Amino acid sequence: MIPAGHNAVMASRREPPDSLDFFPTPPWATRALLRHVLPRALNGYHLASAWDPACGEGHMVEVFAEDIAIVKASDVFDYGRGYAVADFLDPGTTMTPRPDLIGFNPPFKVALPFVRRALDMTGCAVAALVRTAWIEGVERYGELFRDHPPTLFAPFVERVPMTKGRWDPDASTATSYAWFVWVEGVSPLAPFWIPPGCRQTLTRPDDRRRFGVAPPSAPLLLAAE
Ligand SMILES: C[S@@+](CC[C@H](N)C(=O)[O-])C[C@H]1O[C@@H](n2cnc3c(N)ncnc32)[C@H](O)[C@@H]1O
C-alpha cells in the first residue's frame, strides 16, 4: 500500500525543490489521452481505476477523475493538497489492488525508472507524458524499448506548454511532447498523431478556475489513500 500520507489540507501552497521537476500538465493534454489515445490502445478494455504516482498539485489526476471511477494520487513531495506522500521509486510504494492505469508526467531525469516500475505494478496499462525525443536514446532502447516497445506512441501535433510550478493557459513552448502507452497483451500499433485543435476543444471553460495560476487549495479528489 502507499505509505500513509498527510491528509490535512493546507491553506497555502508549498514550493517543491527544483530537482523534483514540478511542471503541471495542461488539463487538455490529459483529456487527449483519455479521449483520443487510450481508446485506440485498450482494445475495448474499460478502465475502472487509475493512479498518478507523481501527482503534484493534481493537474493530471483530477482530469483522470472526470472519466475514471476510482482514482488515486500520490507524490514524493507534500504540496499541501491532501494527496498521499510516497516516493514512487521506493520498492515499498505499491498499490493494491493493482490499478488499471498508472499514468503520469514523470520528472525528466527518472522517467525511465518510472516507466519500468509502472510496468511492474499496473493491472493493465501505463501512460507516460514525456518529450517526443524520449523515443530515441541508446539507454532507453536497451533498458526499455527493445523488450517493451510501447503499444502506442502518440505525439501531439500541437505544442503542450508546461511551465515550472504552475499551469499557464497562455504559455507557449518549443518543446514537443507525446504520450507513450503500454497495454498488457496488446501488440504495438502504428503511431497515432494527436490531432490539431485539441488544445481548444478539450479545454473547458472552468479549467482556469480549477487549475490555473491560483487554484483552490483543496483537492477535488476524494482523500487519497
Ligand atoms: C512534471 S511534474 C507532474 C505533476 C503532475 N502529475 C501533473 O501532471 O501536473 C513531476 C512530479 O513528480 C514528482 N516526483 C519527483 N520525483 C518523484 C518520486 N520519486 N516519486 C513520486 N513523485 C515524484 C514531483 O514532485 C512533481 O510533482
Predicted pLDDT at 13: 66
- 225, pLDDT greater than 50: no
Beta bridge partners of residue 129, listed in sequence order: 179
Name the CATH superfamily housing domain 22-211: Vaccinia Virus protein VP39 (3.40.50.150)
Question: Using CA atoms, how far apart are residues 98 and 120, in angstroms rounded to an integer?
Answer: 10
How far is ligand 1, taken at its centre, from the CA of residue 22, in Å?
6
Q: What pLDDT is recorded for position 2? A: 54
Q: Which of 78, 76, 128, 77 is nearest to 101 (CA)?
A: 128
Q: Where are the beta strands (DSSP E) in 45-195?
A: 49-52, 70-75, 84-85, 101-104, 125-131, 152-155, 177-183
Find which of 10-19, 194-203, 204-213 is predicted with most confidence, using mean pLDDT.
194-203
Residue 103 has pLDDT above 50, yes or no: yes
Number of neighbours of residue 136 by Cβ within 10 angstroms: 9
Q: What's the CA angle centered on 146, arms 195 and 133, to 5 degrees?
A: 40
- Give per-residue pLDDT as tens, 9-33: 333 567 887 788 999 999 999 999 9
pLDDT in the model for residue 221: 55
C-alpha cell at 48: 475502472
* DSSP label of 35: I
Contact 83, 74 (CB under 8 A): yes
Which residues have a Cβ under 8 Å from the Cβ of 152 and sit 6 or more positions away?
A: 37, 40, 41, 179, 180, 181, 183, 188, 189, 191, 192
Identify whether 27 is preceded by a cis peptide bond (ω within 30 of 0). Answer: no
- Look at residue 214 in the predicted model and tell me its pLDDT: 53
**Please, what is the average pLDDT of the chain?**
90
Q: Is the pLDDT of residue 6 over 70?
A: no
Helix, strand, coil abundance in the chain, percent, nearest 5: 25, 15, 55
Q: Indicate whether 222 pLDDT > 50.
A: no
57-101 pLDDT, tens per residue?
999 999 999 999 999 999 999 999 999 999 999 999 999 999 999
Q: Give the residue, out of 105, 117, 131, 177, with the most ligand 1 atoms within 8 A of its beta carbon, to mutate for a pocket test.
A: 105
Asked if the model's pLDDT at residue 188 lies above 90, the reply is yes
Positive or negative, the CA dihedral 196, 204, 13, 86 is: negative
Q: Is 111 exposed, middle or buried (0-12, 13-18, 19+ CB in 10 A)?
A: buried
Note the pLDDT tens digit of each residue in 45-62. 999 999 999 999 999 999
CB-defined site of ligand 1, < 6 Å:
16, 20-25, 52-56, 59-60, 75-77, 87-89, 104-105, 107
- What CA–CA distance (Å, rounded) separates 127 from 111? 11
Q: How far apart are the first and last CA of the chain?
A: 8
* C-beta pairs of 145-150 under 8 Å, 24+ apart in sequence: 148/119, 148/182, 149/188, 150/180, 150/181, 150/182, 150/188
Residue 77 Cα to ligand 1 middle (Å)? 8
Domain ranges of the chain: 22-211
**Confidence (pLDDT) at 28:** 98
User: In this predicted model, what pLDDT tens digit does every residue of 116-170 receive, in sequence order?
Assistant: 999 999 999 999 999 999 999 999 999 999 999 999 999 999 999 999 999 999 9
Kindly state the average pLDDT of the residues 205-212. 94
To test the ligand 1 pocket, which listed residue (60, 61, 88, 168) has its Cβ within 8 A of the most ligand atoms?
Answer: 88
